[in-house]
């Protein structure tokens, strides 16, 4: 045998030399759930180790993460029912605690990067990412609301906005709205290929944001989120988002869509982000809690595989634990 691939695997030192993919905490974004109030830290039952937190606890969390070298956060608000309406107007209301919290975070930690969520679902009485009229999710009317949210978020100090709504034309509409008001440096991480997936369950529990039941309300998000059977269509979305001015292209979920991550990586120059979503993380946590998998081994392997597929940025609920592992600190959950 002239070729013996095992020669390059025979010691740790040689394996280090031949390692093709390196994942560091620099690539990770940590999602945090926020709630209005004081002293709140409620665990999300379907996503153990993750909490709905009020501002002081969010600040504490961010401080701890920054010390671990984890500097980027995507923030999601849980909104009380009294603030929900048909058009999601609380999303840009001056009293909105989410916007106030962004200002506080950036005042305290100017060097961190905070990413927003642009979509109506936390604020919408129907639980949809857009305005529901006559049983349908209205595209163009929703764009006007998304732009108002985007401007309010840019004003509040978010570094990057994350339109997760999947309306047509939203990246251009938001980019134009931001530029007209002088927010030329506020970035956009487009949820480019966001699939109508069954893996968002724990997230919707955390925010109480699932589509509401009603005869005139679509029961799922299939008229705007992508069909899990489709791949070519991801190229159309990516072309549009690129042309419309996105700074990052995101694929969501991540693990069941590694082929899509790879496809976009090979066809586009923009950095590719992958959202390792709540249901994907919950599955792994559950298996580890049952003693069926070892968290310290399965978790980093999972993140590495997403990176290897082509995602330069990974949004994951495991970001903090990964950061601890890199520093050889114990994980306590
Ligand atoms: C809402 C939004 C969702 C997620 C991020 N933004 C849920 C949805 O589309 O219903 C899911 C994230 C996760 O499951 O971790 N626009």
> Domains, the chain, ranges and CATH?
22-326 (3.20.20.70)
pLDDT at 47: 97
Mean pLDDT computed over every residue of the chain: 97
Q: pLDDT at position 215, please?
A: 83
Dihedral angle over CA of 209, 122, 176, 26, nearest 10: -80
Residue 210 CA, closest ligand 1 atom number: 10
Token pair 């009380």 in the structure block, residue: 80
Answer whether 318 contacts ligand 1 (Cβ < 6 A). Answer: no
pLDDT attached to residue 208: 85
Question: Is 121 touching ligand 1 by the criterion CB < 6 Å?
Answer: yes
CA distance linking residue 28 with residue 21, whole number of Å: 15
Q: Which of 84, 221, 252, 320 is catalytic?
A: 252
Helix (H) or strand (E) holding 68: none
Low-confidence stretches of the chain (pLDDT beneath 50)? none
The pLDDT score that the predictor gives to residue 333 is 53
Find out whether the beta carbon of 117 lies less than 6 Å from any atom of ligand 1.
yes
What 8-state DSSP symbol labels residue 330? P
194 is catalytic: yes
Instruction: Give the pLDDT of residue 270.
Output: 98
Residue 252 bears catalytic tag: yes
- pLDDT value for 209: 85
For residue 273, what are the β-bridge partners?
A: 250, 313
Select from 164, 226, 278 the residue to mutate for testing ligand 1; criterion: most ligand atoms less than 8 Å from CB. 164
User: What per-residue confidence (pLDDT) applies to 148?
Assistant: 98
Which residues, 6+ apart, have CB-to-CB distance to 330 below 8 Å?
324
* Burial tier of 66 (Cβ tally within 10 Å: 0-12, 13-18, 19+): middle
């Amino acid at each position: 045998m002239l070729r013996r691939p095992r020669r390059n695997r025979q010691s740790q030192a040689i394996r280090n030399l031949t390692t093709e993919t390196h994942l560091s905490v620099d690539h990770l974004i940590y999602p945090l759930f926020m709630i209005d109030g004081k002293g709140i830290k409620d665990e999300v039952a379907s996503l153990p180790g993750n909490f709905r937190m009020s501002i002081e606890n969010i600040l504490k969390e961010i401080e701890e993460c920054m010390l671990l070298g984890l500097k980027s956060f995507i923030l999601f608000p849980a909104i009380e029912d009294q603030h929900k309406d048909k058009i999601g107007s609380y999303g840009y209301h001056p009293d909105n605690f989410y916007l106030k919290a962004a200002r506080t975070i950036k005042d305290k930690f100017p060097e961190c990067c905070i990413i927003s969520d642009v979509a109506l679902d936390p604020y919408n009485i129907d639980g949809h990412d857009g305005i529901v009229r006559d049983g349908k999710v209205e595209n163009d009317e929703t764009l006007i609301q998304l732009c108002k949210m985007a401007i309010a978020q840019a004003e509040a100090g978010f570094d990057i906005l994350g339109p997760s709504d999947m309306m047509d034309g939203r990246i251009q509409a938001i980019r134009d709205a931001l530029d007209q008001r002088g927010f030329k440096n506020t970035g956009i991480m487009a949820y480019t290929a966001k699939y109508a997936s069954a893996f968002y369950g724990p997230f919707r529990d955390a925010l109480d944001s699932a589509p509401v039941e009603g005869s005139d309300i679509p029961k799922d998000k299939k008229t705007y989120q992508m069909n899990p059977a489709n791949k070519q269509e991801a190229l159309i979305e990516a072309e549009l988002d690129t042309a419309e001015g996105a700074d990052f292209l995101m694929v969501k979920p991540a693990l069941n869509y590694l082929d899509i991550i790879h496809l976009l990586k090979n066809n586009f120059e923009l950095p590719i982000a992958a959202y390792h979503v709540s249901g994907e993380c919950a599955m792994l946590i559950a298996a580890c809690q049952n003693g069926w998998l070892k968290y310290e081994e399965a978790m980093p392997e999972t993140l590495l595989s997403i990176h290897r597929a082509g995602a330069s940025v990974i949004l994951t609920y495991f970001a903090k634990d990964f950061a601890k592992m890199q520093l050889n600190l114990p994980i306590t959950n």
